[in-house]
Amino acid sequence: MSAPLSAPQPKPGILDIAPYVPGESTVPGGIKPIKLSSNETPLGPSPKAIAAYQALSSELERYPDGAATALRKAIGGVYGLDPDRIVCGCGSDELLNMIAHAYLNHGDEAVFTEHGFLVYRIVTLGNGAKPVVVKTRNYACDVDAMLAALTPRTKIVFLDNPNNPTGTYIPFSEVRRLHAGLRPDTLLVLDSAYAEYVRRNDYEAGIELVATSRNVVMTRTFSKIYGLAALRLGWAYCPPAISDVLNRIRGPFNVTAPSIAAGIAAIEDTAHVDASLVHNDKWLPWTTAEIEKLGLEVTPSVGNFILIHFPAEKGRDAIAADAFLKSKGIIMRRVAGYGLPNALRMTIGTESDNHAVVAALAAFTGKA
């Protein structure tokens, strides 16, 4: 007879989770840093979104609309979608958690790439399932490798397209090929957090595939181009049966009233979104080219960030670069947890931020 347990025990898998570590936000010395560690928009949110948020400050005693009806209608209006197939959440992170909670059981498997968003592993293990990690090709999803990793236990395939932290993407013909290789009871989750930034003719976020399939969900966020990261707001576009499931398990008031108001104003302020795109279209290639001139490799990116690779040599590696940049008040994102120990991820910042980074890296590499 086994001895009684001395304390409550979590479900299997939970203690195997490494807690998510966000991008750093402070540097030694108490100076205000150039924070380029979290892919936040350098333009900030729409002034209309700020005003909408502030307008709710005198009604904080009121519960929000649990169904986020007005926000779903606004999203539907912008993208031409049925609002009944949209589910809103506390960031796309919550939606990924809900999807895993609804469709993963103990012993199931979830497939994602070696550089996939860390939350995929967390939600998989948290629901007793097994993460199946697939190698990439040139830092991008390898569809053949993904298909080869499928087993009868595969219940979810997570695909962040574009990928964070690499900035790579696969054309939608490849996404369709991946989907065609799935069983009807395997769910494809298209994480399109950076879709608004992509300027490629062969890219799609996944709306049409969701509309014509029963086993595809697309998740989106207001944290990136809309600049509402502090409000934690996201949405998913789903087949009707899946939106029904997610609405059964989501919290009754999982999106706040100020977030709903700000989200509506943000998504309808197309001029502000366009300004963010113009800024990124200018400074993404400029920053990439200037850093490459220093002899550093930069993975081609379609997002609002770049992945900078450093030599493995001690003193010139990513650890040393990170420490040097912090001494100059610049914070980037260490990505060793994504299987990239010799790289740093840099968000495209303001004009002055980008110039400061290039100058600092020139000094670090001895090219100043």
Structure confidence by residue, pLDDT tens digits, 64-76: 999 999 999 999 9
Task: Let me know whether 250 and 104 are in one domain.
Answer: yes
100 and 122 housed in the same domain: yes
Domain final residue, candidates 269, 286, 312? 269
Question: pLDDT tens digit string along 336-354?
Answer: 999 999 999 999 999 999 9
Evaluate whether residue 9 is within a structural domain. no
Q: What is the CATH number of the domain that holds 169?
A: 3.40.640.10
DSSP 148: H
Q: Distance (Å, rounded) from C-alpha 30 to C-alpha 308? A: 26
**Number of other residues whose CB lies within 10 A of the CB of residue 237:** 27
Report residue 119 as tokens.
């939350």
How far is the C-alpha of 19 from the C-alpha of 5, rounded, in Å?
25
- In the chain, the amino acid numbered 251 is G
269, 304, 337: which is the final residue of a domain?
269
- Among 246, 269, 292, the domain boundary falls at 269
- Number of separate domains in the chain: 2
Q: Is residue 1, in this structure, part of any structural domain at all?
A: no
77 and 195 share a domain? yes
326's CB contacts (< 8 A; 6+ apart) are 27, 28, 33
Q: Are residues 137 and 258 in the same domain?
A: yes
**In this structure, what CATH number is given to the domain that contains residue 317?**
3.90.1150.10
Range of the domain at 345: 14-44+271-365
pLDDT digits (tens, 9 = 90+) for 129-159: 999 999 999 999 999 999 999 999 999 999 9
pLDDT per residue, tens digit, the chain (368 aa), is 566 678 888 888 888 877 777 777 776 766 789 999 999 999 999 999 999 999 999 999 999 999 999 999 999 999 999 999 999 999 999 999 999 999 999 999 999 999 999 999 999 999 999 999 999 999 999 999 999 999 999 999 999 999 999 999 999 999 999 999 999 999 999 999 999 999 999 999 999 999 999 999 999 999 999 999 999 999 999 999 999 999 999 999 999 999 999 999 999 999 999 999 999 999 999 999 999 999 999 999 999 999 999 999 898 999 999 999 999 999 999 999 999 999 999 999 999 999 999 999 999 999 87
pLDDT tens across 152-179, in order? 999 999 999 999 999 999 999 999 999 9
Structure tokens at 310: 């450093």
Same domain, 312 and 222: no
